[in-house]
Amino acid sequence: MIANEIQTSAKDPAYGWVMVFAVFILSALAFGTLGTISVFLKPLSAEFGWTRGETSLGYTVISFSSAIFGILWGYIADKYGTRYFGFVAAIAMAASLFALSGQQSIYQFYGLYFLFGAFGNAMVTSPLFANVGFWFTYKPGLALGVTASGGAVGQGVVPYLCAISLEQYGWQTTYVISAVVYFCIAFPIAFLIKESPLREVARNNPEVEVRDFPLSEREVIIWISMAIIFCCNCMAVPIVHLVPLLTDNGRTLDEATTVLTLLMFSGAFGRIVGGKLGDTIGALPGYILMSAGQTISVLWFPYFQSDLSLYLLAIVFGFTYSGVMSSILVCTRNMVSARYSGRAMSITSFFGWIGMGTGGVVGGLLFDATGNYDWSFSYAAGVGVINLIILGLFFVRIRTQGALSPVTA
């Protein structure tokens, strides 16, 4: 009864947009640090004599720790809510970055990025995205798209600012500055986090929630998880290796990070559009469309040399890869129940982070083996094709189980 009243009210709660703002900022900080690994890669390799494969493994470590601990936080979010997640994450992110300024070995590097992923990134992404999604009944896709665009903005702004700081002050001071800024932004924002009324009702009164989807929640999660491994493998290669690729080709660090920034800002728009597509043509068709664009465009980064061609390619890839990410969130939001959404998004994110971590390190290992990035980006396109095949089979499976409208599917 209470759940039905919430779902049929005249409009969604206005506070939902406050949650969109809060999670936008927190995810921007979290994803921004992942993007900075591309900027720190060559300076740290030069400082300590690490190979690019070893250094890019830091991206894999943060991805895997986010994956593993994300499932834990998803279960806790579904059982107790997400009220204090922002506070823990603010402290963990700032402390990890500060400690990185004094690192002396590759194992410290991995360990501190592990902590950032486990207690920072994992807490402010999937569990909070699930919370945001159920603040909205009528246009969850748009709300999730705007929220997810924070990650793209963070991956554009934070690496660019870190690159400026690196050239001015070096990598150690840059980590210290990042730590201070992160804490000053994230800790106050954490006070804004509240649990959605719909998730509160579903958690306390599970019998009142009605779910209308032809596949079981378990099967939905299996399909999305299988696809996300490969689509995230695809997107991770340019995220981690685009800046090194461009500087290898003679561009300055500033020029290379400008391309990355353009890619990420295009991605911010792509995440909004990807979410909106979930409200119009359907979350899964939107996922397929954006995945196709990502797969086609990623192959060409090693071969485009002119500024104009690189800028255009960065815009296309950034738009489509980011549209993929918001489409995944909308798929999960629309296909599972509110009381299961924290776990569902965390489980699918687990496989996404596995894919991201694998793509990042495989890109570095292929460079170490061949001396260039041609095979790294070819690998990205290949796994993107596998993702499209899985999504096509998922679409057929849904259609054979029930006559759904495009928006539902």
Q: Alpha-carbon distance 327 to 332, whole Å?
A: 9
Cβ neighbours around 11 below 10 Å, total? 9
With beta carbons less than 8 A apart as the criterion, state whether 241 and 56 touch: yes
Quick check: helix, strand or coil at residue 282? helix
- Total residues found in the chain within this entry: 409
Q: What is the reported pLDDT for 208? A: 63
Domain ranges of the chain: 10-201+214-401
Residue pLDDT, tens place only, 191-238: 999 998 888 887 777 666 667 788 889 999 999 999 999 999 999 999
- DSSP of 197-245: HHHHHHHH-GGG-----SS-HHHHHHHHHHHHHHHHHHHHHHHHHHHHH
- Strand, helix or coil at 105? coil
pLDDT by residue for the chain (409 residues), tens digit each? Answer: 344 444 445 578 889 999 999 999 999 999 999 878 878 988 999 899 998 888 888 888 888 898 889 899 999 998 898 999 999 999 999 999 999 999 999 999 999 999 999 999 999 998 999 999 999 988 888 999 999 889 888 887 898 899 899 989 999 999 999 999 999 999 999 999 999 888 888 777 766 666 778 888 999 999 999 999 999 999 999 988 898 899 998 898 888 888 988 888 898 889 999 999 988 998 899 999 999 999 999 999 999 988 899 999 999 999 999 899 889 989 998 898 888 888 898 899 889 888 888 898 899 899 999 999 999 999 999 999 999 999 999 999 998 886 444 444 5
Instruction: Please give the sequence-ordered ranges of beta strands (E in DSSP) within 53-147, or none if there are none.
Output: none
pLDDT in tens, 95-144: 999 999 999 999 999 999 999 999 999 999 989 999 999 999 888 889 99
Burial degree of 18 (CB within 10 A; 0-12, 13-18, 19+): middle
At residue 404, the pLDDT reads 47
CB burial of 77-97 (b: ≥16 within 10 Å; e: otherwise) equals bbeebbeebbbebbbbbbbbb
Superfamily name and number for 10-201+214-401: MFS general substrate transporter like domains (1.20.1250.20)
Of residues 325, 164, 347, 128, the one with CA closest to residue 239 = 325
Residue 202 has a pLDDT of 78
Nearest in space to 225 (alpha carbons), one of 335, 135, 100:
335
